[in-house]
Each structure stands twice: as structure tokens, then as C-alpha cells.
Amino acid sequence: MSKLTLSTAWQALSAHYTAIEPLHMRQLFADDPSRFDKFSVKSGDLLFDYSKNRITEKTRKLLVALAEQADVPGFIERQFSGDKINNTEQRAVLHTALRNRSDRPVFVDGIDVMPDVRRVLGLMRKFSEAVRSGSHVGHTGRAITDIVNIGIGGSDLGPLMVCEALKSYAAPALRAHFVSNVDATQLTETLKKLDAETTLFIVSSKTFTTQETLTNARSARAWLVERLGSDVAVAKHFAAVSTNLKATAAFGINPDNVFEFWDWVGGRYSLWSAIGLPIALFVGMDKFEELLAGAYAMDEHFRTAPLDQNIPVLMGMLGIWYGNFFGASSNAVLPYDQYLHRFPAYLQQLDMESNGKGVDRDGSSVDYDTGMAVWGEAGTNGQHAFYQLIHQGTRMIPADFLAPVHSQNPTGEHHAILLANCFAQTEALMIGKTSDEARAELVAQGLPSEKLEALLPHKVFPGNKPTNTLLFDRLDPHTLGMLIALYEQKVFVQGIVWNINSFDQWGVELGKQLASRILPELLDDAVKLPHDQSTRSLIDYYRQQR
Ligand code: F6P
């Protein structure tokens, strides 16, 4: 057994699990009229209700003890102070410096990174204001009306999710598009709607070596040059965001339109850097800085709140409680705000690329489960699709519900109906419906006894399904910044407890290597196929059928 599973705090939780597992939350609420007060936290305009979880005060104490045993507080300081906690890549993890709104210096290798961070923010402001005001014009002198971000993974999902979430704050004169997939359909369908004279491409890639992004960027460049009739046009219509300035220069992007970031920013943590340029262009730099300020507020909460009142710590430890002790393997994220419809997709990369690890920081295999699968959909749509499984399926699926008190589009009773559904779902998941209650309903409907008995088991809801609820005033840039940072730090807490490196992603490499080996085999039938039987046959079939 590993040091973690043998540890006092882990063993104490294992023993405690056997006491908690048979308890129903109905009873826990009935026994304690102040349960909500005990198990909710407010930070800024964010209310975190975690009372509908299978926990008691003792559980929280034991979970906090596990966080302390793993030295979460020490690692928080190490993260913020620029220690190279990404040990397999020997890098600091400092997306928090990008949103540091204080005058605190942040050192990497003895050098304060804050002047550089502020310099690039200044460049982003200048460029985004020039484009938005129409003073940056295209090759033919026309103002930019459409921006197309070309990137993938962290260089796509974060800016895309934020632009969707803050759509209502955007300038109507500027539209934002995102192309990520190497499937040419996405680029083609996007370009169909655009006029080259008024389109600005932003090629976003930390490494500037990613096959999908460079392939899309080359095709976009060819489209532009063909329409505008000159290579010179590229200077006014292409910008780049990268840590690899040599590669952006080699691609031919005007150095005035290149925005830098640094190797201490992980791809999936990069929306706070110049990777956020599409956000700044779309909603304006002031709003982008409000987003940073919201994340900073959450960082300050995370650094300073005691562990038992610390929202990212509590959320992270609850995930460990269900994943490692109850055996849950997925986590649903259910935003009751249409503007957050891409939030679950964004969280998938954040969480699963960070914590999908099978060896610990020292390279030893772990004997406990790590990251869960994350999935979800905007409410109420999910209710009519997959909630059935959460309510009556055999697996435990802890779920997060997120909702604004105020709609940005107040229309009749829509928002009250939306929130009624949100609250009803967490209530139903917690309280369930007993056999007696179901029977009483069927009796009241006058069902004959034989039919009643046959139907009864299907009408029972076990309940006792754990949920968190995050309520906020309205989805503005500040609140969105808080929410994103909250989930980032939750993922961080879990990685520390599991003793894994949440900041590398070696698991994506093998597929990339094999794809580059297969590509020439698809392009040239003469190339031999040194593969397993299935892969060889699939390639053969493609060669014959294409
Ligand atoms: O697929 C792995 C990955 O490295 C992600 O971590 C990253 O966000 C994405 O590819 C894109 O990388 P880049 O920004 O270097 O193009």
C-alpha cells in the first residue's frame, strides 16, 4: 500500500466512511436545523452551499486533516511563490501571477515576472483598443469586423468558454469565431461567413508546434492571401500568441502583432495570459481586467481562508471523499446559466488533463483513484437527457449546480422557472422519494393494487445523491473570473492530496507520435504498415476506399 493510503488521515476517513455510508441526508437535515449554516460559505458574491453532501462535521474535520497531512497550505504558498512544483518539466506554475492585482512581486529564478506581465497586458490593451476603435485597419483600409482564434486545447477552450459566457458584454460590431479541429470542416464553415478584408486571425499556441493549429493557420493564411491578392496582407490580418517567438517569426507574423507568454503558464491555465487576447478584443480590455480581478479575489480567498471555510479546498476534498471512498468515477457540472454552456467542456481539459495521472510525483504507481471524468450540460436541457441516470441509476455521480440570482435577460417568469428547476433538482437528488411516499401517490391516483405493486419500485427515488450549489449575483466578468479560479484551485488541491503532478500532460504524447507515423502511410500507398492487425486493416481499408 502507498504512503497515502496507509496514512493516519486516510485510514481515519476509511473507518469513518463505514459509519457515514448508511446515513441518509434526509436524516442529517432532520437532525440538524442549522445544517445549511454549518455547511455553506460566502466569498464575495459567491455562495457555496455544500450542505447536500454525505458528510457530518466530523467528515469535514477528517477531510481537512487529510488536506493538512498532504501539506495543502504549504503547497498553496509554493504555488503562489513560483516554486517549480511542475517537477517533471521543472517549471513554476504561475497563472496566479497573470491575475495578481496587487503590487506584490512574484519571482521565478530570482527575477520578478510582474513587470513583464504588466507590459504584455499593456500591449494587449493597445492592440485590442486599436482593433475595436477601428484604428487598426485591414490591408484594404477597412475596419476589422471578425476575429478568428486558431488554437486547440488550452489555446481554444478557455477563450472560447469566456467569450460565450460574456457575450452580453461584447461590442456588437466585432464577432468572435474559434477554429480548433484539424477537420477542415470547422475552418471552411467559419470562413464561408467571413470577408477577408475585415477578418483578423489570431494564431494561439503555447508551443507553436501543434499540428492542428499550424495546419489551420496555414490554410487560413492561404485563404486570406488568395482573396487579398498579396502576401503583404498577412501583416495586418494575422496576430499570434505564443511562448515561442522564433516560431511565430518563422511563420511570418508581424512582430508588432505577437503577444508573448511564458513557460510557467500551463496551456490549460493560460486564458489569463495573452491567450485571452480574443476575450480582450471581444469584450474590451477593461472587462478582461475585471475577469482577472475576479480570479485574484478567489486566489486571495484560497490563500487566506482557513481550510474548513476555503471553497476550493472544500470542493476538492469533497471530490476526494466521493472518488476515493464512495468509488464515484465522474463529476457532473450543471450550469443553470446558458451563457456558461461551454463551462463543462472547458473544465474537462482543466480537470482531466491535470489530474488524469497514474503515477505520483516520484513516478511510483498509485494504488488509489485520481481524477474523475467531468461532464455536464446547461440546465435545464440536461434534465431531459441524462438526469435520469443521476436520480435512479446505479452509480453515484456527485454534481455541481451553478446559477445566477439575476438573469441578464429578464423575461416574464423564465428565470424563476429556471431557478425553480435548479433548486428542485438538488432537493430531489437529496431527498428522493421513499416507497411509502410513492405508494401514497399511486393510491391517491386510484391505481388498482396489482398495477400499483408492479409500478411501485420504478417510482421510488433513493435520494442521498450529493450536490454542491454555487449561487452568484449575476454572471459578470468578475464573477466568472472567481468561478474559473475556484475550479483551477480545486483541481490543484486534489493533485496535492493525490501527490501527483497536475501540471504536465505526457499522456497526450503517444497519440501525437503515432499520428505523425501514420500520416505518411495515408498519403502514400507505397509506405509499409508496421502496425497491429486492427490498425493495419483500418489503414488498408481507407487506402482501398478513398
Ligand atoms: O494536447 C496537449 C496540449 O499540449 C494541451 O495541454 C494544450 O493546451 C494543447 O495541447 C495546445 O497546445 P499549444 O498551445 O502549444 O498549441
How confident is the model over 34-60, as pLDDT tens digits? 999 999 999 999 999 999 999 999 999
What lies within 8 Å, CB to CB, of 501 at 6+ separation is: 85, 86, 87, 88, 357, 361, 495
**Any catalytic annotation for residue 512?**
yes
| Residue 280, Ramachandran bin (φ over 0: left; ψ between -120 and 50: alpha; else beta) | alpha
Q: Measured between alpha carbons, how far is 170 from 38 in angstroms, rounded to an integer?
A: 40
pLDDT at 27: 98
Residue nearest to atom 2 of ligand 1 (CA): 508
Mean pLDDT across 93-102:
98
- Report whether residue 207 contacts ligand 1, using a CB cutoff of 6 Å: yes
Which of the four pLDDT bands, split at 50, 70 and 90, describes residue 419?
Answer: very high
Tell me the CA–centroid distance for residue 513 and ligand 1, in Å. 14
Residue nearest to atom 16 of ligand 1 (CA): 205
Tell me the CA–centroid distance for residue 73 and ligand 1, in Å. 29
pLDDT at 246: 94
pLDDT at 545: 96
**Any catalytic annotation for residue 353?**
yes
pLDDT at 415: 98
pLDDT at 171: 86
Tell me the CA–centroid distance for residue 519 and ligand 1, in Å. 20
Which of the four pLDDT bands, split at 50, 70 and 90, describes residue 17?
Answer: very high
Could you report the per-residue pLDDT of 226-236, keeping only the tens digit for each? Answer: 999 999 999 99
Which of the four pLDDT bands, split at 50, 70 and 90, describes residue 417?
Answer: very high
Instruction: Choose among 179, 120, 123: nearest CA to 147.
Output: 179
What mean pLDDT value characterizes the chain?
Answer: 97
Tell me the CA–centroid distance for residue 37 and ligand 1, in Å. 42
- Report whether residue 310 contacts ligand 1, using a CB cutoff of 6 Å: no
- Report whether residue 248 contacts ligand 1, using a CB cutoff of 6 Å: no
Which of the four pLDDT bands, split at 50, 70 and 90, describes residue 251?
Answer: very high
Mean pLDDT across 207-214:
96
Mean pLDDT across 170-193:
96
Q: Is the dihedral of CA 429, 434, 435, 436 positive or negative?
A: negative
The single residue of 192, 246, 384, 528 carrying the catalytic annotation is 384
Mean pLDDT across 375-382:
96
Q: Measured between alpha carbons, how far is 485 from 116 in angstroms, rounded to an integer?
A: 22
Residue nearest to atom 5 of ligand 1 (CA): 153
Q: Is 332 exposed, middle or buried (0-12, 13-18, 19+ CB in 10 A)?
A: buried
Residue 78 has pLDDT above 90, yes or no: yes
pLDDT at 172: 86
Residue 533 has pLDDT above 90, yes or no: yes
Mean pLDDT across 525-536:
96
Looking from the CA of residue 155, the nearest atom of ligand 1 is: 14
Task: Assess contact for 205 and 213: CB atoms under 8 A.
Answer: yes
The single residue of 3, 193, 406, 512 carrying the catalytic annotation is 512
Residue 135 has pLDDT above 90, yes or no: yes
Mean pLDDT across 441-462:
97
Looking from the CA of residue 207, the nearest atom of ligand 1 is: 15
- End-to-end CA distance of the chain: give it in Å, rounded: 52
Tell me the CA–centroid distance for residue 203 and ligand 1, in Å. 13
Q: C-alpha 369: how far from its chain's center?
A: 20
Instruction: Choose among 441, 438, 437, 407: nearest CA to 422.
Output: 407
Tell me the CA–centroid distance for residue 240 and ligand 1, in Å. 15
The single residue of 164, 212, 353, 488 carrying the catalytic annotation is 353
Tell me the CA–centroid distance for residue 350 and ligand 1, in Å. 12
pLDDT at 115: 98
Residue 190 has pLDDT above 90, yes or no: yes
Residue 365 has pLDDT above 90, yes or no: yes
User: Among 86, 207, 208, 210, which is best to mutate for testing ligand 1, by the most ligand atoms less than 8 A from CB?
Assistant: 210
Residue nearest to atom 6 of ligand 1 (CA): 267
- Report whether residue 268 contacts ligand 1, using a CB cutoff of 6 Å: yes
pLDDT at 282: 98
Residue 264 has pLDDT above 90, yes or no: yes
Residue 1 has pLDDT above 90, yes or no: no
**Any catalytic annotation for residue 3?**
no
Q: C-alpha 511: how far from its chain's center?
A: 22
pTM for the structure as a whole = 0.98
- Report whether residue 420 contacts ligand 1, using a CB cutoff of 6 Å: no
